[in-house]
Structure 1
């Protein structure tokens, strides 16, 4: 297994880079850390050679796992990493005649995101400092058809001089799971079972709430309407959590 990390922060010796390197050190097989600041990344131009972008893409093509690492700057991705992804976009995706973006030749590869922020873990939980950064990276990788294997977030970096042992352990645990992710195990059955369990639990919770409000179960239609409304509220809350609050802020 070969894992490659693209680092887009300003300090290749900083905490975000250290956490990324710790992840790489725990990975099986070969690894490579690329400081994008050392490259001159520019978009493709018609009839013009682009050797640095060619070399970067070749390394991505040869890797089984991509690690995208960027501190959260002004609530989003560092410009160096964003520039690289913007320039790689025509090579990672394909466009339909209607302008739709679809996955291309790298569909099915695995990726990890790494970020950090000055906010404490508790603050980040409620203010979502790192969300926009991670969401942007996830959006780019989803467009290319990659599968996410996990993420590492380092909050509270203001005044921090060394990586917390808990984060180093988290990096090791994530690295240990990568070989199974790379094997592309079919998780279709797992997803259907998870969906079934989720619906079963939500239906049970809905019926339990109905029992607490006897007035909504006096006849068939009030029971039906109340069930639909309660179930919808629970589902909306779950989808909100899965969509916006899924990142591990601490």
Structure 2
């Protein structure tokens, strides 16, 4: 399995780059670290050569997994990474005449996203410092039809001089899994099973709460209305919670 690490940030020897490199180290053989600072990133123009994007296109096409790393600057990806996505967009996806964005030649590959931020683990958990970074990467990869394997975040980098051993071990473990196991591309069935299970649990919880409210079971309409209200309040709470803890920010 070929794995390429694509780094976009100010310092290719910094903490985020080291965190990304740890994923590659865990994967073992056939890996490559690519520093976007070494490339002239410009959009394609008719009749003009674009050697930088040509080389990146070939490297990414040859890789089974992309490890995408960018520090979080001002709440989003670094400029180098944004420039790459903007310039590479038409090579990564295909556009219809109606303006729809569809997966292109990289469809069904996989990716891992890596970021870091100055905020502490607790602060990042509650203030979502790295959310926009991961969301931006996810949007681009989703448009390209590329499947997410994992995401890694290194919080508390202010004053940090080296990636903590625990975080390095975590990154290497992710890399080892990438190299050892071919992941399934389509998780549709799994998602439907999880959705069915969640709805079943929600319905049971709603009925249990109704039993604690005598007025809610006094007739058809009170029973129906109370079920709808309780069910959707619980559903909204769970969805908010799942969104809130979606990223492993600690």
TM range (shorter): over 0.9
Match of 1:42 in 2: 42
Match of 1:139 in 2: 139
Task: Please report how far the alpha carbon of residue 180 of structure 1 lies from its aligned counterpart in structure 2 after TM superposition.
Answer: 6.8
Match of 2:24 in 1: 24
Residue pair 2:44, 2:50 contacting (<8 A) in 1 also: yes
- The aligned runs of 1:124-203 (5 Å cut-off) are 124-179=124-179, 182-184=182-184, 186-203=186-203
SS in 1 for 2:72: coil
Task: Please report how far the alpha carbon of residue 228 of structure 1 lies from its aligned counterpart in structure 2 after TM superposition.
Answer: 1.2
Instruction: Return the alpha-carbon distance in structure 1 between the equivalents of residues 47 and 98 of structure 2.
Output: 25
Match of 2:231 in 1: 231
- TM-score normalised by the chain length of structure 2: 0.94
Match of 1:122 in 2: 122
Runs of 4+ in 1 over 6 A off after TM superposition: none
SS in 2 for 1:107: coil
Tell me: CA distance 1:134–1:185, structure 2 relative to 1, closer, same or farther (3 Å): closer
The CA RMSD over aligned residues, in Å, is 1.6
- The aligned runs of 1:58-77 (5 Å cut-off) are 58-77=58-77
Instruction: Return the alpha-carbon distance in structure 1 between the equivalents of residues 43 and 97 of structure 2.
Output: 21
Task: Please report how far the alpha carbon of residue 185 of structure 1 lies from its aligned counterpart in structure 2 after TM superposition.
Answer: 5.4
Alignment partner of 1:82 is 2:82: yes
SS in 1 for 2:68: strand
Task: Please report how far the alpha carbon of residue 242 of structure 1 lies from its aligned counterpart in structure 2 after TM superposition.
Answer: 3.9
Instruction: Return the alpha-carbon distance in structure 2 between the equivalents of residues 50 and 185 of structure 1.
Output: 32
Instruction: Return the alpha-carbon distance in structure 2 between the equivalents of residues 145 and 126 of structure 1.
Output: 30
Residue pair 1:95, 1:102 contacting (<8 A) in 2 also: yes
Tell me: CA distance 1:186–1:138, structure 2 relative to 1, closer, same or farther (3 Å): closer
Tell me: CA distance 1:184–1:145, structure 2 relative to 1, closer, same or farther (3 Å): same
- TM-score normalised by the chain length of structure 1: 0.94
Alignment: residue pair count: 250
Listed as ranges, the gaps of 5+ residues in structure 2 are: none
Residue pair 1:119, 1:156 contacting (<8 A) in 2 also: yes
Tell me: CA distance 1:179–1:214, structure 2 relative to 1, closer, same or farther (3 Å): farther
Instruction: Return the alpha-carbon distance in structure 2 between the equivalents of residues 18 and 93 of structure 1.
Output: 29
Cα deviation, 1:126-156, whole Å, max 9, x if unaligned, reads: 1100001111111111111110000010000
Task: Please report how far the alpha carbon of residue 243 of structure 1 lies from its aligned counterpart in structure 2 after TM superposition.
Answer: 4.1
Q: Greater CA deviation, 219-228 or 126-135?
A: 219-228
